[in-house]
């Protein structure tokens, strides 16, 4: 069996490895370290939790043992998709390079630019960064990549999922053509293969496990969940999660619960706290200092349950995670491999349980197709919970309909009452004025809206048809009907004062 002593690593590195308690390299480490020490490009494909970080950190420290960094020109570059994964790589570098004089800088979001600029100005041997923050420093003129000798791309498939591939291609263009490239990924999507063909030169390909496979030491299962009623789905799903945690008993020493949406992360964490569970949320919208405190507490055992989005699916290295609960089936099948890879690390046993609602069954099919195996179905630990009977649903709907109909009846009753009150008050006048055709007295006209006189005088006939309210239409209809009574006008009964004045004017 291969030992670290057989890999031609620097004695200082071997000393740090021994102090960390490691003696035998993992398959990906045994396959990737020798060609990396020879200066060749490496394409490593291995599932999460197989020791990929050390497979590029150890040869980097050995290769960079000679030489000195210059200001703003790092000698090596490690690109990571998330802040947590970048911090994990930095911790590994500190562990294995503690007996050397190599320096490092960590460029991630949520940290002051001023502090990071100060580190870069001093010159660093290893620069560990997320793509976005790295390009921010470059565009500000604080960083040069022309001195990069070794470039590492970690979790390349996660870079693809997060939309970092254009940034990765740009960064490749900023580094020297003569660089050595170490490229690592858990899955090999067509886009990832295109990049490797473009930027890697005759790489040594190490594939220690079939792409998108899950660890054999992880016990998997899925509970097919169906709510009793649609409006109770969220509450019953959280109840099922708590029951699954309780059913594991003392075997569940700590756990990570993955949700697809950041909003659900907060809701699930708050619900667990309310029911007495020691749980904390972590997702991309939280402040970096809060995320760091939460992760440190989880590693130290102060936090038992971590409710996370996929931001932590590939950036959290806690060897002793006993359980992973998928509150949602991941939208991307590859994320399932990385989520459950948080447990069963370093040869330990692990358990991964997933909840699948009817709307997630298509995603479940994609996951099983990717891993090329069926995930065992588990029984609902809450027992048989039949859905609401059709009669009960009908009764529920019947209860809702009268509620709505009563409100409409009340509004119609009020309108009818108003219409009945007005004819009663005007009844005596209606009997004396109109005898041949009794009809309800006209309702009082609303106050006329102020209209400019020229417009009203110019087109009075055109303005009337535009009225579309019911009262105006009724008045227009009555106005056009023929009247049965003769209208009495001035006629022959002209006032005398008008005739007199006319005769006087004629005589004059």
Distance of CA 101 to the CA centre of its chain: 42
Residues 312 and 284 reside in one and the same domain: yes
Domain count, the chain: 2
Residues 290 and 351 reside in one and the same domain: yes
> What span, in angstroms and rounded, lies between the C-alpha atoms of 331 and 70?
44
Residues 122 and 67 reside in one and the same domain: yes
- Domain boundary residue, one of 347, 378, 409: 378
Q: Which two tokens stand for residue 146?
A: 């022309």
Instruction: Give every strand in the sheet of 180-185, ordered side by side.
Output: 104-107, 126-129, 76-79, 150-153, 180-185, 42-45, 204-207
pLDDT for position 363: 93
pLDDT for position 472: 52
> What span, in angstroms and rounded, lies between the C-alpha atoms of 478 and 95?
97
Backbone phi, psi, residue 202, to 5° = 45, 60
Query: In this structure, is residue 396 part of a structural domain?
Result: no
Taking alpha carbons only, the member of 167, 166, 3, 157 closest to residue 77 is 167
Residues 336 and 315 reside in one and the same domain: yes
Query: Domain containing 60 — which CATH number?
Result: 3.40.50.300
pLDDT for position 484: 54
pLDDT for position 97: 94
DSSP H or E segment with residue 352:
strand 350-356
Query: In this structure, is residue 462 part of a structural domain?
Result: no
Residues 175 and 122 reside in one and the same domain: yes
- Domain boundary residue, one of 378, 395, 424: 378
Non-local (6+) Cβ contacts of 466 within 8 A are: none
For the chain, how far is it from start to end, CA to CA, in angstroms?
A: 144
Mean pLDDT by 10 residues, the chain (508 residues): 85 93 89 95 83 92 88 94 88 93 92 90 94 94 94 89 89 95 87 91 84 73 93 94 94 93 93 95 83 87 91 66 94 84 81 94 92 91 57 39 46 50 44 44 53 45 47 52 55 61 61
pLDDT for position 311: 67
> What span, in angstroms and rounded, lies between the C-alpha atoms of 464 and 477?
12
Range of the domain at 347: 218-378
Query: In this structure, is residue 506 part of a structural domain?
Result: no
Residues 203 and 249 reside in one and the same domain: no
> What span, in angstroms and rounded, lies between the C-alpha atoms of 60 and 57?
5
Query: In this structure, is residue 504 part of a structural domain?
Result: no
Residues 192 and 267 reside in one and the same domain: no
Query: In this structure, is residue 393 part of a structural domain?
Result: no
> What span, in angstroms and rounded, lies between the C-alpha atoms of 241 and 413?
50
pLDDT for position 338: 80
pLDDT for position 14: 94
Residues 180 and 284 reside in one and the same domain: no
């Amino acid at each position: 069996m291969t030992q670290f002593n057989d890999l031609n690593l620097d004695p200082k590195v071997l000393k740090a490895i021994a102090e960390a308690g490691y003696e035998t390299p993992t398959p990906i480490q045994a396959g990737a370290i020798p060609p990396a020490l020879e200066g060749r490009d490496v394409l490593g494909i291995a599932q999460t939790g197989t020791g990929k970080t050390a497979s590029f950190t150890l040869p980097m420290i050995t290769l960079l043992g000679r030489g000195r960094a210059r200001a703003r020109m790092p000698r090596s570059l490690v690109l990571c998709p998330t802040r947590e994964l970048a911090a994990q790589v930095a911790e590994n570098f500190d562990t294995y390079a503690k007996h050397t004089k190599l320096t490092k800088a960590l460029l991630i979001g949520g940290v002051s630019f001023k502090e990071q600029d100060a580190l870069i100005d001093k010159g660093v041997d290893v620069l560990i960064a997320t793509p976005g923050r790295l390009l921010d420093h470059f565009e500000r003129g604080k960083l040069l990549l022309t001195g990069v000798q070794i470039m590492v791309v970690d979790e390349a498939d996660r870079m693809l999922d997060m939309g970092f591939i254009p940034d990765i291609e740009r960064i490749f263009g900023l580094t020297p053509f003569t660089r050595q490239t170490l490229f690592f990924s858990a899955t090999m999507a067509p886009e990832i293969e295109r990049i490797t063909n473009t930027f890697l030169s005759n790489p040594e390909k190490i594939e220690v496990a079939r792409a998108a496979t899950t660890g054999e030491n992880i016990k998997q299962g899925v509970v097919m969940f169906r709510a009793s009623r649609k409006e109770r789905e969220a509450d019953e799903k959280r109840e099922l999660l708590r029951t699954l945690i309780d059913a594991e008993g003392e075997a569940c020493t700590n756990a990570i619960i993955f949700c697809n949406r950041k909003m659900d992360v907060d809701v699930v964490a708050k619900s667990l706290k309310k029911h007495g569970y020691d749980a904390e949320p972590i997702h991309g919208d939280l402040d970096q200092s809060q995320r760091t405190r939460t992760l440190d507490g989880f590693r130290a055992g102060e936090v038992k349950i971590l409710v996370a989005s996929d931001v932590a699916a590939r950036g959290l290295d806690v060897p002793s995670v006993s359980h992973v609960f998928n509150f949602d089936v991941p939208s991307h099948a590859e994320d399932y491999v990385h989520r459950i890879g948080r447990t069963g690390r370093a040869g330990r046993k692990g358990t991964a349980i997933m909840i699948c609602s009817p709307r997630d069954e298509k995603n479940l099919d994609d996951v099983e197709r990717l891993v090329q195996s069926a995930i065992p179905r588990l029984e609902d630990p809450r027992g048989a919970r039949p859905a609401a009977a059709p009669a009960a649903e009908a009764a529920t709907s019947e209860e809702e309909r009268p509620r709505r109909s009563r409100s409409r009846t009340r509004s119609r009753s009020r309108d009818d009452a108003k219409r009945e009150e007005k004819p009663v008050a005007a009844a005596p006048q209606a009997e004396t004025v109109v005898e041949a055709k009794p009809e309800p007295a006209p309702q009082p006209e609303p106050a006329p809206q102020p209209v400019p006189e020229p417009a009203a005088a110019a087109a009075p006939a055109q303005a009337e048809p535009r009225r579309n309210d019911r009262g105006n239409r009724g008045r227009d209809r009555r106005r056009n009907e023929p009247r049965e009574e003769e209208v009495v006008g001035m006629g022959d009964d002209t006032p005398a004062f008008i005739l007199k004045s006319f005769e006087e004017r004629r005589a004059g």
